[in-house]
Amino acid sequence: CDYIIDFIERKKDGDKPFFAYWPMAATHKPHEPTPDSPEWDTFDPPSNLSVGAKTWAELEDGSWEDDPKFYRDMVEYHDKVVGRLMTYLEDQGLEKDTLVIYLGDNGSPDDVCSMMHEHNEICGGKGKTNDRGTHVPLVCSMPGTIPSATVQTDLIEATDFLPTIFEAAGLDFPEGYIIDGRSFYSQLKGEKGHPRDWMFFHFEPMNRRHGPGDQKKIRFLRDHKWKLYETGELHDLQSDPDEDVPIYEIEDSETQSAARKRLQPIFSQMVN
């Protein structure tokens, strides 16, 4: 947080928009104590800042390494430092001219569970292609431009951030520059905009990158209700969000067949 605030401090009075990317790892594995955790003093950070410093696993109580019980501490500390950044923007009078985009990069591990609305416990699904692994939070802030306390259900994917940021900053792409995403800045402002009808995913398991494995790349398309894998598996995401019951073409109802015919041709547009 110190670094990003220092960066903004140096850029805020310039004549060009600034861009800051903060890939925070505060809630990522390994799950460990934070500076606000009682166990932090045992780590003794000042004496462990040099090369070769002991990790949590090497301390006397190795049970503190990667313990899911510290996930709550990590979330609270994460919230604290994000709040510090937002307070800084407000104190500097920058909050109305700064688009803040906050999101997760993927689902949390299986052993991390959170209480959601109506007291439902939802566990993560990192590395999986269902919603537990791919559907992540997205919160945007720009007071005076983005209406407060509003919720959008439009489909958004990672390629959409670049054109959205460009539009918010009043920038144009170079002539002939090809982008895959589409801006959702209009939707942020409360306008209809041009929301997506579908999203495309290409997933390549980590173990395939590091050596031989039996997992292959996975490609799929989805809209608000239907999800179609390149293998032909169709899923109704509204009735089966965990994708426990695949639907194959031979089993298609009229509605399912229509969804399949709408999505299937899109695969041919995507680079393999």
Residues in contact with 131: Cβ distance below 8 Å, sequence separation at least 6, in sequence order: 107, 125, 237, 241, 242
Q: How many CB atoms lie within 10 A of CB 107?
A: 21
Per-residue pLDDT in tens (0 to 9) along the chain, 272 residues = 999 999 999 999 988 899 999 998 888 888 888 889 887 777 655 555 555 555 555 655 555 567 778 888 999 999 999 999 999 999 999 999 999 999 988 888 888 888 777 778 888 888 899 999 999 999 999 999 999 999 999 999 999 999 999 999 999 999 999 999 999 999 999 999 999 999 999 988 765 444 455 457 899 999 999 999 999 999 999 999 999 999 999 999 999 999 999 999 999 988 66
In the prediction, which pLDDT does 27 show? 84
- State pLDDT tens for residues 133-150: 999 999 999 999 999 999
**Environment class of 212 (CB within 10 Å of its CB; exposed 0-12, middle 13-18, buried 19+):** exposed
In the prediction, which pLDDT does 224 show? 96
